[in-house]
Chain A
């Protein structure tokens, strides 16, 4: 039987209230959103917060919409809501690709976008998708908010820039013309964490790649990104050869480890192959196909 250890519990009524509760209870307090990462960790005693600050009542953090040329996603948005969002699907189909393969429909009903990001599991899917999209993260604290790039957000496995007394409140993705995006994942079975996965965003200028973003997860990519492959693609012809080579470059810079999901060399192969597939899919969508 798995049950969490004793814990105090507070229900936040607003972001300001949540921040004041965080300040009152100190660094051993944790924000509780959907709890689908945190509660399993608490059951295993890997996480043992002294106080949970439940933000599930904060409808102010539950939205997806276009504002000032950006798609803005509140962090309490459930995975199912992101998957249902027409705006997200229209501008960033990578998010729908990824959400379709995150856990299962029932888990997606309650697990949240912000919770997944703040859990910062090195195999998490959305971290790679947002890295590919070069998203921005808004972190709120007692002294106001700050915006950091998705690529700075993760400081290591299960660690982020969100400091004690702060919480992640919004993800922002700039909408740019001529873009397409896609996500490709290989797992052991439906609903599982990836053995490896890659996300790609591509912006075209005629037949040339004007800019590209590549996100990788579960394969030991630093900050879930592949900047060397992106650099190679910038200005390169948008061809199958370029995408295949970008995949090879991305794989060369990964540091996958062998574990129960697969050996390191297989994961490196996946990094290459899935990067190329995601780029191909992103290119097709950028072309309107």
Chain B
């Protein structure tokens, strides 16, 4: 089937099988390997990307369902060569070790800060509770998100939610 999806602000048009999962489309067809393919069962959250306004687990979304919508992956988080404060927080606060969970963690953290600019550690843990990290014990991830929250109210680069997102 023919699809058109805006990924990180660029429109992609092409043919896909209806059964193709969004995570495989992003990684295998677009080469955007920042989104990780983990448990395959919507438990681990390594595959989290934004679909329009919200983070979703892209191992459990068909590419066809994203037709006509906007996708944001970790590759789209930095703007004009500047890291999103969430990315900077993860770097400064050692919010990752192996890095496998990190893209999904950061995308959900960005969404959290867009809705709740000053979350408590408990609120951060709740928001990230569908995502698994086997290295950090989560403590530094929570610190990283808190660090981002403290930068200009955690509002990133003007908010991805309002980004027009390509040629739709």
Contact = CB atoms under 8 A, between A and B. Distances in A.
A228 interface: no
A28 interface: no
B93 interface: no
B46 to A, nearest CB: 11
Given A6-B19, A7-B18, A80-B54, A110 B61 contact: yes
Interface stretch (B74-82, B127-135, B137-145, B150-158): B127-135
A39 B61 contact: yes
Given A35-B62, A36-B60, A43-B40, A106 B19 contact: no
Contacts, number: 84
A32 B65 contact: yes
A40 B60 contact: yes
B126 A110 contact: no
B55 interface: yes
Interface in A19-70: 32, 35-36, 39-40, 42-43, 52, 54, 56-57
Given A35-B62, A105-B127, A105-B130, A5 B56 contact: no
A9 interface: yes
Contact of A40 (B19, B42, B45, B65): B42
A110 B54 contact: yes
Interface residues of A, number: 31
Interface string B32-58: 000000001111010010010011110
Contact of A54 (B51, B55, B64): B64
Interface string A245-277: 000000000000000000000000000000000
- The list of the 10 closest CB pairs from A to B, nearest first, reads A104-B130, A9-B18, A109-B54, A4-B19, A106-B130, A110-B56, A2-B40, A9-B64, A106-B55, A104-B129
Given A6-B19, A104-B45, A191-B130, 10 more contacts: A1-B40, A4-B62, A54-B65, A56-B65, A104-B129, A105-B126, A107-B130, A109-B56, A110-B51, A191-B129
B108 interface: yes
B114 interface: no
A111 B42 CA distance: 11
A109 B57 CA distance: 9
A90 B56 CA distance: 28
A90 B55 CA distance: 27
28 contacts: A2-B40, A3-B24, A6-B17, A8-B18, A9-B1, A9-B62, A11-B64, A32-B62, A35-B62, A36-B42, A39-B21, A39-B61, A40-B41, A43-B40, A52-B62, A57-B68, A80-B54, A104-B129, A104-B131, A105-B108, A105-B127, A106-B54, A106-B56, A106-B131, A107-B130, A110-B51, A110-B54, A110-B57
A4 B40 CA distance: 12
Contacts of A43: 40
Given A4-B19, A5-B19, A190 B129 contact: yes
B99 to A, nearest CB: 19
Interface string B12-29: 000001111100100000
Contacts of B64: 9, 11, 52, 54
